[in-house]
A and B are shown apart, each in its own frame.
Chain A
Amino acid sequence: MILYDYVLSASCYKVRLMAALLGQSLTLHTVNFHPAREHKSADMLALNPKGTLPVLLDGETVLTDSADILRYLTRDAPEWRGDDDPWLALAADLNESLGMARLHDILQYDVDIDAARAAGVKQLRKLEAHMTAQRFDGHLFLTGAVPALADIACFPNVSLAPDGGVSLDTYPSLRLWMRAIRSLPGFIEMPGIHRLHELEFPE
């Protein structure tokens, strides 16, 4: 499988993280998204007319939507699947709010920044309420006691919220949820999401 990838993209990271947790190997084709805008080059548009990343290539299969790619990677891993559609829809909303706020703050995307952040805070509050209820039931993850596609879809843009000027300081349940994901065997980091250094220390 070849992933057309940009190192700072939250959506590309979703795919890299999902594959890493599943133990699947991806051949990364690095795209110069910034500053060269290679995702809009003729070659890339031939592959994906939308001109977006990520793009996953597996034989004849070409997937250009991160939700579709996550479904594809987990097609033989039912333990990661559940009622995924609402969570993938939420992940898309998070990308429009927190994700765009981040692109505004880092790369000067033309975004209504106040609206993007306010929408992000609303979604974070909903997620926090949900994860708080999950913890009352003894669950560490969005859909239960074990990690699922839903978690991986939502994790990147939530964790990277501070990049777009949205603080995560006052979301205790989300912080523990993010920590649970960062503790998973096979977890990989991206810039803005540090690894848990304490894990490498033998107690």
Chain B
Amino acid sequence: MSRSINDYWYPVGLLSGIDAPHATLLLGADITVGRTHSAYWVTDAAGKALPTIKRFGHLWTCPGTPMDDLFTIPEADTAGRQLVDVGSVRVKCSPLRAVENFLDIAHFPFVHTDILGAEPHTEVARYNVDIREDANEVWATKVKFFQPQAAKSAEGGITTEYMYRVASPTCAVLYKTCPPRPGEWDVITLFVQPLNEEWCEVWPWMALYDDDSTMAEMVSFQQLIFMQDRSILENQIPTKLPLDPGMEVPTQADLTSIAYRRWLKKIGYTYGAQLVAA
């Protein structure tokens, strides 16, 4: 049985930021998020309590029937990491466009110039992508790219290795070479709350090994990166993500996005997607 869009878990707030009841949207429907003493809650428009999970510093809810637990990120639990609440930014784009952009590295030299990429180091070498049927996730591995300043704690250019993981239709996890800890991976996530099909609230979150930067500096770095993406995301035509081939032209560098689109189609997740060329 294929699940409905309502049966997935979605982020709706930072645990550290939820206080007075806050009206927001989820999948086009009004919801209210709040906290009574230490109990976090979410209600739908009719006042019915929705299920909640507290994980990765965020409150998650499911407006339908959750079919399984919210995914986990075991790497994020290892000791010594800074858990970074980046906050949220609203973007006028499809939630799926926001995720797809997060999975893309070829834009680094042009959108995150001199930070995550720089000309002439624009080449994207072949990497591996697979749809993992057991976990129902999309993975890209052995992704390598030259970065002038890979993270707040990085100095000088290095070739950085990444793994990308689409853990649910609107949530992706990036594992990235960690300059101070060779052999370990920094964890950077993008959790997207679909407000509606063409508007989303994006909650980045990170679990980093970084003993040099202040929390404010780590937050600032990620907000800088995401806001550079925002000006792209609000200017793609069409606003929704085309799932059918023909409207947009992918190349080998886009293997992750090709797999993501294919997987969305396979699992029937078409909220925020454009199925027929307009």
A-side residues, CB < 8 A to B, are 6-8, 30-32, 34-36, 38, 105-108, 162-163, 165, 191-192, 194-195, 197, 200
Residues B16 and A35 in contact, CB atoms below 8 Å apart: yes
- Report how far A36 CA is from B228 CA in the complex, Å: 21
Pick from B30-38, B59-67, B75-83, B211-219 the stretch touching chain A: B211-219
Q: Are the CB atoms of A35 and B216 closer together than 8 Å?
A: no
A sample of 5 cross-chain residue pairs with beta-carbon separation below 8 angstroms, ordered by A number, consists of A7-B223, A35-B86, A36-B85, A36-B215, A108-B90
Selected from B88, B119, B217, B225, the residue in CB contact (under 8 A) with A30 is: B217
User: Known contacts A32-B220, A38-B216: does B227 contact A191 (CB below 8 Å)?
Assistant: yes
Q: How far apart are the CA atoms of A106 and B226 in the complex, in Å?
A: 11
* B228 lies within 8 A of A32 (CB): no
Of all chain B residues, which has the CB nearest A197? B110
List 3 tightest A-B contacts by C-beta distance, closest first: A35-B87, A191-B227, A32-B216
- With A7-B224, A162-B234, A197-B110 already in contact, the answer to whether A32 and B90 are too (CB < 8 A) is no
Closest CB of chain B to A184's CB: distance in Å? 17
Q: Does B6 contact A (CB under 8 A)?
A: no
> CA–CA, A105 to B226, complex, Å?
15
Tell whether, in the assembled complex, residue A106 and residue B220 are in contact, meaning their CB atoms are under 8 Å apart. no
In the complex, the answer to whether B90 meets A191 with C-beta atoms within 8 Å is no
Whether B250 is near chain A, meaning CB under 8 Å from some CB there, is: no
Contact status of A30 and B110, CB under 8 A, knowing A35-B17, A191-B231: no
The answer for the CA separation of A163 and B225 in the assembled complex, in Å, is: 15
Whether B14 sits at the interface, judged by CB under 8 Å, is yes
Report how far A7 CA is from B110 CA in the complex, Å: 19
Q: Select which of B216, B217, B224, B226 is within 8 A of A36 by beta carbon.
A: B216
Extra contacts, 5 of them, besides A7-B220, A32-B216 (Cβ < 8 A), are: A30-B216, A35-B87, A36-B85, A192-B230, A197-B110
Q: Are B223 and A31 in contact (CB under 8 A)?
A: no
Evaluate contact between B230 and A191: CB separation under 8 angstroms.
Answer: yes
**Of A38, A162, A191, the contact of B228 (CB 8 Å cutoff):** A191
Nearest B residue to A31 via CB reads B216
Shortest A176–chain B CB gap in Å is 20
With beta carbons under 8 angstroms apart, the residue of A36, A162, A192, A197 that contacts B227 is A192
> What distance in Å separates the Cβ of B168 from its nearest Cβ neighbour in chain A?
22
Q: For the complex, give the distance between the alpha carbons of A105 and B202 in Å.
A: 13
Instruction: Give the residues in chain B near A34, CB-CB below 8 Å.
Output: 87, 219, 223
Residues of A within 8 A of B214 (CB): 30
Which residues of the other chain, A, contact B230 by a CB distance below 8 angstroms? 106, 163, 191-192
When distances are taken between beta carbons in the complex, the residues of chain A under 8 Å from B86 are: 35
Q: From residue B16, how far is it (CB to closest CB) to chain A in Å?
A: 7
Listed residue (A7, A105, A163) with the most chain B CB atoms within 10 angstroms of its CB:
A7
Minimum C-beta distance from A2 to chain B (A): 14
Which residues of chain B come closer than 8 Å to A162, judged between CB atoms?
Answer: 231, 234
Given contacts A6-B220, A7-B223, A30-B220, contact A35 B85 (CB under 8 A): yes
Given A32-B216, A34-B87, A105-B90: A8 and B223 interface contact (C-beta under 8 Å): yes
Q: Which of B88, B89, B223 is the most central at the interface, judged by chain A CB atoms within 10 Å of its CB? A: B223
B113 within 8 A of A: yes
Give every chain B residue within 8 A of A191 (Cβ-Cβ).
Answer: 223-228, 230-231
CB <8 Å contact, B227 and A8: yes
Question: Nearest chain A CB to B108's CB is how many angstroms away?
Answer: 13
Which residues of chain A are within 8 angstroms of B217 by Cβ–Cβ distance?
A: 30
Q: Give A8 to B119 CA distance when docked, in angstroms.
A: 25
Q: Please tell me if the beta carbons of B223 and A163 are within 8 angstroms of each other in the complex.
A: no
Contact B234 A35 (CB under 8 A): no
Residues of A within 8 A of B119 (CB): 200
Q: A106-B90, A200-B119 are in contact. Are A192 and B231 (CB under 8 A)?
A: yes
Chain A nearest CB from B206 CB (Å) reads 13
Q: Write the nearest CB–CB distance from B92 to chain A, whole angstroms.
A: 8
Q: Which residues of A contact B17 (CB under 8 A)?
A: 35
With a cutoff of 8 Å between Cβ atoms, the chain A residues found around residue B87 in the complex are 34-35
Q: Measured between C-beta atoms, what is the minimum distance from B89 to chain A in Å? A: 6
Inter-chain CA distance A41–B40, complex, in Å, is 25
Q: Are A32 and B231 in contact (CB under 8 A)?
A: no
* A108 to B225 CA separation, bound complex (whole angstroms): 19
A165 to B231, CA, bound (A): 11
Q: How far is the CA of A179 from the CA of B205 in the complex (A)?
A: 35
What A residues does B110 contact at CB under 8 A?
A: 197
